[in-house]
């Protein structure tokens, strides 16, 4: 007869045992001045020999961080994560670098969409039109909407940022073997490249992954962790996927005060390819880019503002200022090296009202157009 080797259940009135609290291992003591000086000298000599250049100070900082990881007794699994993530990013930067001058749109959507589905055909048409506007596309390199994006743009105008999964995801036949295909182990490094390299985002119907990517893009833009970019939600003609999504967002996020009404201006919902393309192209009609110089936002403009528009901006968008007024001029001394020929709009942005900032960009782009487009995200 087999003996029951299962442990006896605990008494009903006996609380479960409390695990002992174990103090984390103490890191080694900080380096003394002599040790720190020796380390810094060795790093400086190494950088001078193997990583010399304008960014040598940053490479030296990275090596100090490596030394600290070692001194902290960081676990091997965590060191492997840092090592692999850095290697993935280094390779991705190298692949994208030769195409820096080409604007790119990241396309998200389901990998399961059949090639005869209206969503697939809509994604093909969208990518075709973006190619005609001299844009490149970035997709996750799988099938479905991702393949549609590559099919519309063509392999020569496509990037693939693939994720290695134990199921479902495989590289589509259009981008497979292309030099512009990058394979990632980690979602977070892959997502970083999707946003870092894109000047626009187009979302087609999809599953959890598409929802995740869409909400992450919105979060980054809403919080100012990435620059404003046009975000278009594209349905097939007569489709309702994004309409139902917008209904949920309004009912459960907007009307309960979890987001602001202005946040709805960060998106454009449409079932027409030409509207989606126009949303992206017009976003960069006059607006070029912006950066921060200390407490000032410096917005670069492709063409000067028309007469009278500055006065309108002063009145209509005073609420997003953190003191001061809007000023037009040339580049500031701190950013003279970047597009010195472009007019600047300089102001102290409160760094909160990104939905209103998007409305101001829309005004700047469309002020001299006869029929300003209505925002359909709201």
Inter-CA distances, 49 with 27, 38, 44, 189, Å: 31, 17, 9, 29
H/E stretch holding 184 reads strand 181-184
Inter-CA distances, 177 with 146, 166, 187, 311, Å: 16, 20, 21, 54
Task: Calculate helix-pair angle for 354-366, 273-283, nearest 10 degrees.
Answer: 90
Q: For residue 62, count other CB atoms closer than 10 A to its CB.
A: 14
pLDDT tens, the chain, 378 aa long? 334 443 443 444 445 555 555 555 545 458 899 999 999 999 999 999 999 999 999 999 999 999 999 999 999 999 999 999 999 999 999 999 999 999 999 999 999 999 999 999 999 999 999 999 999 999 999 999 999 999 999 999 999 999 988 775 689 999 999 999 999 999 999 999 999 999 999 999 999 999 999 999 999 999 999 999 999 999 999 999 999 999 999 999 999 999 999 999 999 999 999 999 999 999 999 999 999 999 999 999 999 999 999 999 999 999 999 999 999 999 999 998 899 999 999 999 999 999 999 999 999 999 998 655 555 564
Judged by DSSP in three states, 14 sits in coil
Is residue 210 within 8 Å of residue 110, measured between CB atoms? yes
pLDDT tens sequence across 13-32? 445 555 555 555 545 458 89
In whole angstroms, what is the distance from residue 148 CA to residue 155 CA?
Answer: 11
Phi, psi of 181 (to 5 degrees): -100, 125
In whole angstroms, what is the distance from residue 166 CA to residue 37 CA?
Answer: 47
pLDDT tens sequence across 82-101? 999 999 999 999 999 999 99
pTM attached to this predicted model? 0.88
Beta partners for 327?
346
Judged by DSSP in three states, 366 sits in helix
Beta partners for 324?
none
In whole angstroms, what is the distance from residue 11 CA to residue 20 CA?
Answer: 21
In whole angstroms, what is the distance from residue 157 CA to residue 150 CA?
Answer: 8
Taking phi over 0 as left and psi of -120 to 50 as alpha, with beta for the rest, 299 belongs to: beta
In whole angstroms, what is the distance from residue 149 CA to residue 143 CA?
Answer: 10
Report helix, strand and coil shares of the chain as percent, to nearest 5.
Answer: 45, 15, 40
Q: For residue 78, count other CB atoms closer than 10 A to its CB.
A: 11
- Residue 26 pLDDT: 45
In whole angstroms, what is the distance from residue 29 CA to residue 71 CA?
Answer: 9
Of the CA atoms within 13 Å of residue 253, those in its CB half-sphere come to 14
pLDDT tens sequence across 104-159? 999 999 999 999 999 999 999 999 999 999 999 999 999 999 999 999 999 999 99
Beta partners for 197?
none
In whole angstroms, what is the distance from residue 214 CA to residue 195 CA?
Answer: 11
Is residue 172 within 8 Å of residue 143, measured between CB atoms? yes
Domain ranges of the chain: 33-97, 99-283, 287-366
Phi, psi of 329 (to 5 degrees): 180, -160
CATH class assigned to 99-283: alpha beta
- Residue 259 pLDDT: 97
For 249-275, b/e burial (b = at least 16 CB within 10 A) is beeeebeeeebbebbbbbbbbbbebee
The side-by-side arrangement of strands in the sheet containing 287-293 is: 287-293, 296-301, 343-347, 327-329
In whole angstroms, what is the distance from residue 169 CA to residue 137 CA?
Answer: 19
- Residue 30 pLDDT: 83
End-to-end CA distance of the chain: 72
């Amino acid at each position: 007869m087999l003996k029951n080797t299962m442990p006896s259940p605990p008494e009903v009135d006996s609380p479960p045992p409390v695990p002992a609290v174990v103090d984390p291992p103490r890191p080694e003591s900080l380096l003394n001045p002599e040790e720190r000086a020796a380390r810094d000298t060795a790093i400086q000599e190494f950088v001078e020999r193997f990583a010399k250049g304008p960014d040598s100070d940053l490479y030296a900082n990275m090596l100090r961080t490596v030394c600290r990881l070692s001194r902290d007794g960081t676990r091997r699994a965590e060191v492997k994560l840092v090592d692999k993530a850095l290697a993935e990013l280094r390779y991705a930067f190298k692949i994208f670098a030769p195409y820096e001058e080409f604007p790119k749109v990241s396309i998200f959507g389901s990998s399961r969409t059949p090639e005869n589905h209206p969503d697939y055909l809509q994604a093909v048409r969208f990518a075709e039109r973006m190619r005609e506007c001299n844009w490149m596309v970035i997709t996750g390199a799988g099938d479905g909407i991702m393949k549609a994006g590559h099919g519309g743009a063509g392999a020569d105008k496509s990037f693939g940022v693939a994720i290695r999964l134990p199921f479902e995801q495989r590289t589509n036949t259009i981008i497979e073997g292309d030099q512009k295909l990058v394979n990632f182990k980690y979602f977070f490094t892959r997502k970083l490249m999707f946003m870092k390299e894109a000047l626009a985002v187009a979302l087609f119907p999809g599953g959890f992954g598409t929802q995740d990517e869409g909400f992450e893009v919105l979060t980054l833009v809403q919080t100012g962790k990435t620059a404003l970019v046009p975000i278009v939600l594209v349905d097939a003609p007569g489709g309702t996927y994004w309409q139902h999504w917008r209904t949920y967002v309004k009912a459960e996020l907007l009307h309960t005060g979890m987001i602001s009404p202005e946040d709805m201006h960060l998106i454009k919902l449409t079932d027409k390819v030409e509207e989606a393309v126009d949303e992206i192209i017009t976003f960069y009609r006059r607006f070029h880019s912006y950066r921060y110089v200390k407490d000032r936002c410096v917005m670069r403009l492709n063409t000067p503002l028309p007469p009278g528009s500055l006065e309108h901006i002063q009145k209509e968008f005073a609420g997003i200022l953190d003191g001061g007024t809007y000023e037009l001029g040339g580049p500031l001394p701190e950013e003279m090296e970047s597009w010195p020929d472009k007019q600047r709009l300089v102001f102290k942005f409160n760094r909160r009202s990104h939905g209103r900032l998007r409305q101001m960009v829309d005004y700047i782009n469309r002020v001299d157009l006869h029929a300003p487009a209505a925002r359909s995200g709201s």
